[in-house]
Structure 1
Amino acid sequence: MSEAPISRSPVRPGTATVRDGWEVDARIAAGQLTLSDETPLAKVHVRAPFDRASRAALGVGFGRTARADLGTGEVLVIGSGPGEWLLLGAPGTAGALRAAVEQRLAGTGEFTTVLDLTHGRALVRLTGREAATVLAGVCAIDFSDAVTPDGTALRTSLAAVVTDIARDDRSGVPSYLLHVERSSGQYLADALLDAGRPSGLEVTALRGIA
């Protein structure tokens, strides 16, 4: 019997292991400032008319995030642009998540598109009290709590790459999900590690959505 195929992120793992059908980094950071490759998370992209019935059905407006249960486990819904949403779920749930979203939007009467982008995009998470300092080294956005608090979503240039950013704090600690084209994944990870080296940034294993 042939072995199941292994999916691979564009971000190269230092010490590789397989989790949920993906090759991921097995390292566990000892420090308080970490970068994790979250590319294996299910990624479903939605386009629909801005600020109408689909927005109400998804429960999240432009520039904000919220957690929801669509029947596939906990999902992070990100209002990534006007009439655009990115939904992140546990690895391996993309098909079920896409179906659940399509069902939820079917009753809106609006023309919508729902796409599975899981293998076509890269996603990393930067977590720690000094995370905003690291981001300031590669981006001109003000990442202070007053300007970009927990639950903020935005699209900007990060290290000269167009990036969707969602602040999604973990147990009160600042944490940022950074979503880019697959081809830019390794470049962005390297840029963040370079910017975070003075602050002690370390690579750690996949953290997941919960």
Structure 2
Amino acid sequence: MSTRTGSVSVADSPAFESPVVRSYETSDSADLVLTDISATTKWLVRASSGGAVADRLGASFGSSSVAASGATVLGSRPGEWIVLGTAGEVAGAVEGLEGLDSSDFVSCLDWTHGRALFRVTGNETARMLEKVCSLDWSNPMTPDGAVASASVAKVTCDVARNDVDGTPSYLVFCDRSFGQYLFDALIDAGDEFGLVIGPAGP
């Protein structure tokens, strides 16, 4: 079964295999939790930063929004967006984008299997990330909804603040091939703050 989105097809993907291949004890009852959510459906959309696609997606460069379908839209670069959520939410967000404006070149690419995605949540998250990334993690500079590209543990990443019930939480994306290394680097950075590994999932 597949969902057609103009000339884009959001299809049932092959079984997902996480880039994190090591086993860890897991818990979700701690003040700082790192979770592998790489199985989350994620698409990359490129189009003019001032066109109809940009208006529909809603998230300007460096910010995020929630689409009507429920998908999260991250303005990762000028004219570039990451759309993530369930398969249905993402399909609803990208449906028809390629035919929205005939004067604009639009591309939609399924990133689900090519990018690792981790979520780190807790009040000590900013202090933890300061150990592996030079961004200013203070609330005025990276409020909830902020999106940035940065080196995290010397890996090029997209990072988005996406708080959970008022608790600071960050999404960290990287190329799949760096997934295991980055996951372990984040564990090491969070160890002094009592970090635990949450159960993997989308």
- TM-score scaled by length of structure 1: 0.83
Residue 28 (structure 1) shift: 2.5
Match of 1:83 in 2: 79
Aligned residue in 1 for 2:136: 142
Q: State the distance in 2 between where 1:129 and 1:207 align.
A: 22
Gaps of 5+ in 1: 16-25
Deviation at 1:89, TM superposition (A): 1.1
Instruction: Compute the displacement of 1:38 (Å).
Output: 0.7
- Counterpart residue number, 1:192: 186
Which of 113, 121, 124 is matched with 1:127 structurally?
A: 121
Matching residue's letter, 1:85: W
Secondary structure (helix, strand or coil) at the match of 1:150 reads coil
AA aligned to 1:101 is V
Alpha-carbon spacing, 1:100–1:75, altered in 2? closer, same or farther (3 Å): closer
Percent sequence identity over aligned pairs: 41
Partners of 1:121 and 1:75 in 2: CA distance: 17
CA distance in structure 2 between the aligned counterparts of 1:55 and 1:134, rounded to whole angstroms? 33
Separation in 1, partners of 2:161, 2:201: 15
- Give the drift of 1:100: 5.0
Distance 1:61-1:125 versus aligned 2 partners, 3 A rule: same
What is the rounded CA distance, in whole Å, between the counterparts of 1:153 and 1:105 in structure 2?
24
Aligned to 2:21: 12
| Count of aligned residue pairs for this structure pair | 188
Q: Is the contact made by 1:125 and 1:178 (CA closer than 8 Å) also made in structure 2?
A: yes
Q: CA deviation at 1:146?
A: 1.1
- Could you tell me how far 1:158 is from its partner in structure 2? 0.7
SS in 1 for 2:67: strand
Distance 2:189 2:27 in 1: 20
In structure 2, do the counterparts of structure 1 residues 6 and 48 end up closer, same or farther at CA, with 3 Å as the change threshold? closer
What secondary structure is seen at the aligned counterpart in 2 of 1:8? coil
Give the deviation of 1:102 after TM superposition.
4.1
Counting only pairs closer than 5 Å after superposition, residues 4-153 of structure 1 correspond to structure 2 as 6-12=15-21, 14=23, 27-70=26-69, 74-90=70-86, 93=87, 97-98=90-91, 100-109=93-102, 110-153=104-147
- For 1:68, give the aligned amino acid: A
Following TM superposition, by how much is the alpha carbon of 1:98 offset from its aligned partner in structure 2, in angstroms?
4.5
Q: Which runs of 5+ in 2 are unaligned?
A: 1-13
Residue 99 of structure 1 and its aligned partner are, at CA, apart by: 7.1
Distance 1:149 1:106, change over 3 A: same
Q: Displacement, 1:62?
A: 0.5
Contact 1:129 1:173 in 2 (8 A): yes
C-alpha distance in 2, partners of 1:154/1:81? 8
Say whether the 8 Å CA contact 1:41–1:89 is kept in structure 2. Answer: yes
Q: Secondary structure at the match of 1:45?
A: strand
SS of 2:83's equivalent in the other structure is: strand
How big is each residue's C-alpha offset from its partner over 1:113-171, in whole Å with a ceiling of 9 and x where there is no partner?
00101011100001000000110000111101111000000001111110000100000
